Copies of this chain bind each other. A is one copy, B any other.
Amino acid sequence: MKNIYVGLIGFGTIGTGVARLLQQNGHLIEKRLGARIVLKKIADIDTTTPRPVTVEKGILIRDANKILEDPEISVVIELIGGYEPARSFVLKAMRNKKHVITANKALLATYGNEIFRVAEEEGVDIGFEASVGGTIPIIKTIKESLVGNRIRSVFGIMNGTTNYILSKMTDEGKSFKTVLKEAQALGFAEADPTFDIEGIDTAHKLTILLSLSYGKKVNLEDIYREGITEISQMDIEYAKELGYRIKLLAIAIQREDRIEARIHPTMIPFGHLLASVNGNFNAFHVIGDASDSVFLYGQGSGMMPTASAVISDLVDISRDMLKKISRRVPPRSIQERAIENIQLMPMEDISTGYYFRFSAVDRPGVLSKVSGILGQHNISIAAVIQKGRTADSAGAVPVVMTTHRSMERDVQAALREIDRLDVVRRKTVRIRVEDESLQ
């Protein structure tokens, strides 16, 4: 039986999972692949901390170059994360004609163009199923299963940490700060949670999915992004009352010849499958012009689920190697020469539903003034909630409204005007509502 030699760089959580899975299910993988995958070397700067997997003596080394320069190793798995030295390792592996597997979304979102170009020049493959959605086969589904479709839209819950926080806030009525602290104590959130809670991690992932779905190169900075730090318990309660749950959604929609891409807290109807995605889980709702809705759900992170995705790339590449081929599927879905640059639709041009919470003094005529301004800006109101509530320290009570589909530009102009009214005491809270586009 043929052996396929693999080198692993990065022996942290996911790396440990990969080593463990190859041990645990090696025999089964052999029966499926028809060859043996041999994890020849593992490089990590920490060679002493015990891991929950035992590898043979001599396999764990400090120097990644011993993997990158080993002529017997044909596949390198990069699992150290971050930009450097990950980027240099990946490029060197490819220059040495090794196929690469990575879970590094930050690297691909930022240096993707360079990495994919070098992979093409060298005729090697690059697998990155584990970079988006953990165990969920979202990359393969878009690239292979939906290959006959124009992708109309992708809606995703792509970050487990924020979804965990929002779920806890919704189910247990706790504040953002309290839940964040709990999540940090449990290891579900980093000590510095910025990447997660500000939607940066989600933006990395959306950048990758945009290029697969539309065959376009996207600049990370062009994606509109809003995190979850401003979500309050009050808005979660109003959302429930209106039949919605608040999720941090990544959204990509094809609008005629333009694409809109945005990340922000979003109210989605209670009955929608995405609203049932709680805790650490991730999910993707993809609509193709032929397939209609396809919904995928699973663990977006974690040792073994992510290792499962890495192994799927590894077996894919091994199958090609056994047939002595490479570059069977274009890494970015479209043949490289056909990939185009695009400008995303400016945020001002998008249209969606909106939820507003005004902080206004409780005085006759206020509602008519506010709704009058909305009307002047072509914003039509769907629902209003105004209840006798105690005024807050600024002498204001909450007035909640949802709108029918409106233009972001109009909403921005209307809110600027409304927030200048002397009867309005605080900046109006604005959360987008997705209803129709999810159908």
Binding site for B on A (CB under 8 A): 17, 21, 24-25, 28-29, 31-34, 129, 135-137, 140-141, 144-150, 215, 271, 273, 276, 288-299, 302, 304-305, 307-309, 311-312, 314-316, 319-320, 323, 325, 328-330, 333-335, 338
Contact = CB atoms under 8 A, between A and B. Distances in A.
A28 B150 contact: yes
A118 B51 CA distance: 47
A275 to B, nearest CB: 9
Given A24-B290, A25-B148, 14 more contacts: A31-B338, A32-B335, A140-B140, A140-B141, A140-B145, A144-B316, A145-B312, A146-B312, A147-B312, A290-B305, A291-B305, A292-B302, A295-B298, A323-B325
9 contacts: A32-B330, A137-B140, A137-B144, A148-B307, A291-B298, A291-B305, A293-B297, A320-B328, A323-B328
Contact of A298 (B33, B215, B276, B294): B294
A307 B333 contact: no
Contacts of A323: 323, 325, 328
Given A31-B215, A215-B31, A292-B298, A25 B316 contact: no
A305 B292 contact: yes
B291 A304 contact: yes
A290 B24 CA distance: 10
A291 B297 contact: no
Nearest to A22: B148
B145 A294 contact: no
A333 B29 CA distance: 10
A39 to B, nearest CB: 13
Contacts of A315: 144, 147-148
A319 B141 CA distance: 16
A198 to B, nearest CB: 27
Most B CB within 10 A of own CB, among A149, A296, A319: A149
Most B CB within 10 A of own CB, among A144, A147, A290, A315: A290
A21 to B, nearest CB: 5
Contacts of A311: 147-148, 290
Contacts of A145: 129, 137, 140, 308-309, 312
Given A32-B334, A292-B304, A140 B148 contact: no
A372 to B, nearest CB: 41
A99 to B, nearest CB: 15
Per CB-CB distance, the 4 closest pairs between chain A and chain B, nearest first, are A148-B311, A137-B145, A295-B297, A290-B308
Contacts of A292: 135, 298-299, 302, 304-305
Most B CB within 10 A of own CB, among A21, A29, A136, A294: A294
A271 B171 CA distance: 14
Given A308-B288, A329-B319, A295 B294 contact: no
Nearest to A333: B32
A254 to B, nearest CB: 12
A288 B427 CA distance: 48
B293 A295 contact: no
Contact of A308 (B32, B135, B148, B333): B148
Given A29-B148, A137-B145, A291 B319 contact: no
A81 to B, nearest CB: 20
Nearest to A17: B290
B140 A291 contact: no
A14 to B, nearest CB: 11
Nearest to A18: B148
A323 B34 CA distance: 20
Contacts of A333: 32
